[in-house]
Chain A
Amino acid sequence: MDAIIRCTEVSKAYGGVIANDRISLEVPAGRITGLIGPNGSGKTTLFNSIVGYHPIDAGSITFEGREISRLRTQQISRLGLLRTFQQTRVYKRMNCVENMLVSIPNRSDAFWSMFRGYPADATRRAERLLDFVGLYQKRYLTAGSLSFGQQKLLEFAMALMNEPKVLLLDEPTAGINPTLINGLIDRLRRSVTEFGVTLFIIEHNMPVIMGLADNVYCLANGRLLAHGTPREIQSDKRVLNAYLGENYGNEAA
């Protein structure tokens, strides 16, 4: 099982604060990998580094063996590495179908593609994906009029529409009604099995990520603290300490 993303000694500092400190990890292809850690441990910063949102201070990031740490977000996304945003970003004044159409992949777009229409199967595919996330009924509504959770689903569908190889999801269940999380988890799994997407997920919801991921990385204070299967991570003392504090166990005892 190859690593589709490989980070080696990635470091990034923001005005004095070291957000990522020599982080090395691998995201295996075709699997679901989790990224956990207490608030402020540098998870979103790492995502931003991978997708080229900002330059990194040191280290290397490769995607399918190719160095991407110097590339811009646009170029990286065209290689097949997409991300969703924590605050969920969609095109608010366009309706859902339009949001989907404008997200079709454009890897091989020539200059004159700007003047083409959208092929008929693009609309069909868009509707199928909207149905996949459960937004088919609302497909002609303006994206801005959807609820937060619905926008999250739309953003996820848009990402799938772009036929990515890897999808970086930043807290996909945050803000979703707890009764609906199972449906979302199901869709996340199916995106891997049906669409062949590799997922790299930041999550705070422990039951979700432990049930979903094949392997998990835990960050704390900008450093990689532990990694392994969910079972290994769940019983790792360092992870517990990072989340609950060093003396938690002792006090209880």
Chain B
Amino acid sequence: MNRSLSKSLFYGAIVVAGLAAPLLFPGYTFAISGLWVMILFALTWDIMGGQMGYNSLGNIFFFGIGMYVCAIVQVGLYYNVAAYTAPSGQIDVHFTPHQYYLGLTLGIAAAAVVATLFALLFGQIILGLRGPYFAIGTLGIALAAGELFGAWNYVGGGGGIALPTFPGDPGDRALFFYILCFILAIAAFAFLKWLYSTRFKLVANAIRDDEEKAEAMGLYTKRYKNLGFAISAFFLGISGALYGNMIGFIEPVEVAFPVITFGIFMVVMCLIGGKGTLWGPVIGAALFHVVRQLTWTYMLGWQWVALGGLIIVSVVYFQQGIVGWVLERWPERFGIRVDEAGSPDESLDADPVNKEAA
């Protein structure tokens, strides 16, 4: 079986498995939806963090923005949002299926657009920062957003905002959003697979390895940084819109801008899976999600300590992540050449200088 056929079968199998899963395990639909969301989190973080070396601690910002924008659109198309979120004397709302689906579609579109706009806007300032300043700056923005939305009464302030109810039974609802999350994750993966085959990948890696050198060589670093940031924001915004609807109720810090939970998961998943690779974030996300589902509830509060410990251990001892480790162990299988000591030089250039350049 040649390579491209086996590859197509591989991807086909994943798609089939992904579509079949909620039908085979209906009780776990929400949990598996979470898997696709996690994969999306990791893939988007890796664009800036792994490929470009810009470690953001606040990507969750775009997730929350998307969530709120979608909710505002879904409600705001038909009712007054401020009246809807008013703590007392609430208005009666009823969404017909047509209204719901239209609102959802426009909401998702708006979420993607607004999140991307924010990335381009904030990027002007924040992408000019390097290293720790970028990390702390993004972290701060995500934290501040949580507070701001919690103080903004239009969207319900600290009380949050409820999303329109799905016109159908809970089983259909879970399946519906599962399919959307699945499609989103697959779309993101396919898009990035293509993107990493273009110039973008090499330039991003050049920025990661030595940004000053990249600038000195005339690369349009600013464009690439903005593009990467915008792409992350685009997908994260949509995922926020979907997730808000899956939960049904948005709380500013707990659901929309969970900086120290989801926000950090993004980084950890790429770390353990292997950042700077296409499959690393996916594997890391899958592993992390599964382990989390199995162990979280049993740890009674200590899971966060375990998470922090996992970060420290990974960072100190297992920096390259799973995929990185595999690439180091078996480089030849993946097309990486390693120098063999003492190999005779049969070079094209007969110049004796070629034997060893220093």
Tell me whether A135 and B223 are in contact (CB under 8 A).
no
B336 to chain A, nearest CB (A): 7
B294 contacts partner chain A, Cβ-Cβ < 8 Å: no
Which residue of A114, A135, A150, A177 is within 8 Å of B227 (Cβ)? A114
A82 and B347 CA atoms in complex are apart in Å by: 29
List residues of chain A with CB within 8 A of the CB of B337. 95, 140-141
B210 contacts partner chain A, Cβ-Cβ < 8 Å: yes
Tell me whether B202 and A98 are in contact (CB under 8 A).
yes
Tell me whether A94 and B336 are in contact (CB under 8 A).
no
Tell me whether B357 and A91 are in contact (CB under 8 A).
no
B218 contacts partner chain A, Cβ-Cβ < 8 Å: yes
A78 and B213 CA atoms in complex are apart in Å by: 13
Segment 213-261 of B: residues with Cβ below 8 Å from A: 213-221, 223-224, 227
Tell me whether B216 and A150 are in contact (CB under 8 A).
no
Tell me whether B200 and A83 are in contact (CB under 8 A).
no
Tell me whether A153 and B357 are in contact (CB under 8 A).
yes
With known contacts A93-B209, A114-B224, A117-B197, A150–B357 Cβ distance under 8 A: yes
B44 to chain A, nearest CB (A): 18
B325 to chain A, nearest CB (A): 16
Q: Which of B67-75, B119-127, B348-356 contacts A (4 or more CB under 8 A)?
A: B348-356
B92 contacts partner chain A, Cβ-Cβ < 8 Å: no
Contact with A along B169-212 (1 / 0, CB 8 A): 00000000000000000000000000101111011011011101
List residues of chain A with CB within 8 A of the CB of B5. none
Segment 310-358 of B: residues with Cβ below 8 Å from A: 336-339, 345-349, 351-354, 356-358
Write the chain A residue with the least CB distance to B227: A114
Write the chain B residue with the least CB distance to A96: B337
Tell me whether A158 and B217 are in contact (CB under 8 A).
yes
Report B's interface with A, CB cutoff 8 A.
Answer: 195, 197-200, 202-203, 205-206, 208-210, 212-221, 223-224, 227, 336-339, 345-349, 351-354, 356-358
Given A77-B215, A78-B218, 18 extra CB contacts under 8 A: A51-B216, A85-B216, A90-B210, A93-B208, A94-B205, A102-B202, A102-B217, A116-B198, A117-B198, A118-B202, A132-B349, A133-B357, A141-B337, A142-B336, A148-B358, A153-B357, A176-B357, A177-B357
Report A's interface with B, CB cutoff 8 A.
Answer: 51, 73-74, 77-78, 82-83, 85, 89-95, 98, 101-103, 105-107, 109, 111, 113-118, 131-138, 140-142, 145, 147-150, 152-153, 158, 162, 175-177, 180, 182-184
